[in-house]
Structure 1
């Protein structure tokens, strides 16, 4: 069921993008802010206590590795993980660099998902606006529907694959804490960037502030 829900989050995002058609991406900025705050809160409330159950400075090192890895990936994804796609489209070719960078991100974010935390909800809430914005990019840039659907289909598979691998491959399971710490770093970078970049001039208006507060409260009481 977890695998299906993670896959359907991307499919739902594509469906919403088709429904909105020519409306501006900025119209989902409020939900983007909610998703960023929700992901950040889940990370702080659930993942951080998990990895620091046995305090160790090395955990902090892996968190920093996650932050640096995400910065590196964004050289190729151009910020698609947090709702910005700044690429020059080539409608004749599959965008491999974008796909590979997003796939690494998506694979890793699926690995810490378990029955012991609510990260599944956080990732779903995060993936829907990302899928909407990716879909807008492909549609507005003139990519064919075949390339768009193929890209989103493969992208939708990545997080379920990451979750499956973490549960069934022993060596991945053995380094669960370290991998979770790396993912924490990724989430910290992505979620905080979403919060600042989803606001005009990096300032919060009342509606965004309410969305952020609601997201944090909901995450706390899950």
Structure 2
């Protein structure tokens, strides 16, 4: 297990969550373009690295079934997280200031736990793991930013905000460690992780494609800057192939 990778993901999550805590006025356009870039990069990494690995190991039909299952599992999870994985804030109105913290954090934490499982898997493609780490780390920044923005509108004490952020930042690294340790002790577990990786691919496809069409833009249009952000993310994902 490469601890540097886990530290990078922890730091990215912590950094994203600190942005709204330290800066009360954030230009909403920044998060739109950041989401578009991170969503495109994650989409590219999923298609270029994870998908070929899973299809090669499981075969087309089995891989496809689990990818579909992961896609719709993510649809179910966002009923609790309200789409914070892809930048939806759903802040309460002036007359409805209550935020149900537990289901929001729980839904997003289950997603974060799923994200960590592929980090504990052993890939034949040597560039898959570092590329995936970069994709998840980029994605963690707007994800944590959105989470803490919503939590702050719940008028929580600063101590509780810090506790939520730190626990959330630990979920994905902890999941990666668990998956790695279980896989190292058993070949059966290592093979079983393939099915979970396939489900995570489905979740990534749902999140990244939703970001393309939504991510806060009016009428879900593709502005020039958003297209450029997407192109930059895809281009960077393609560049990871040169290290194979």
TM-score for both structures, normalised by structure 2: 0.84
Q: 1:184 aligns with which of 201, 205, 209?
A: 201
> Are the structure 2 counterparts of residues 174 and 145 from structure 1 closer, same or farther at C-alpha, using a change threshold of 3 Å?
same
1:204 paired to 2:222: yes
CA distance in 2, matches of 1:155, 1:28: 20
Instruction: Give the match for residue 150 of structure 1.
Output: 163
Range 127-136 or range 138-147, more displaced: 138-147
* SS at 2:89 equivalent: coil
Mind listing any 5+ residue stretches in structure 1 that lack a counterpart? none
1:141 paired to 2:166: no
Q: 1:217 aligns with which of 235, 238, 243?
A: 235
Instruction: Give the match for residue 66 of structure 1.
Output: 70
Alignment of 1:1-222 (within 5 A): 1-54=4-57, 55-86=59-90, 88=92, 90=98, 95-113=101-119, 116=126, 117=128, 118-169=131-182, 170=186, 172-198=189-215, 199-222=217-240
Shift of 1:48: 0.5
CA distance in 2, matches of 1:163, 1:46: 18
Mind listing any 5+ residue stretches in structure 2 that lack a counterpart? none
Q: Do the aligned partners of 1:40 and 1:187 also contact (CA within 8 Å) in 2? A: yes
Shift of 1:23: 2.7
Shift of 1:207: 0.9
CA distance in 2, matches of 1:106, 1:182: 13
Q: How many residues align?
A: 220
TM-score for both structures, normalised by structure 1: 0.92
Q: What value does the CA root-mean-square deviation take over the aligned residues?
A: 1.8
CA distance in 1, matches of 2:30, 2:116: 28
* SS at 1:141 equivalent: coil
CA distance in 1, matches of 2:83, 2:47: 22
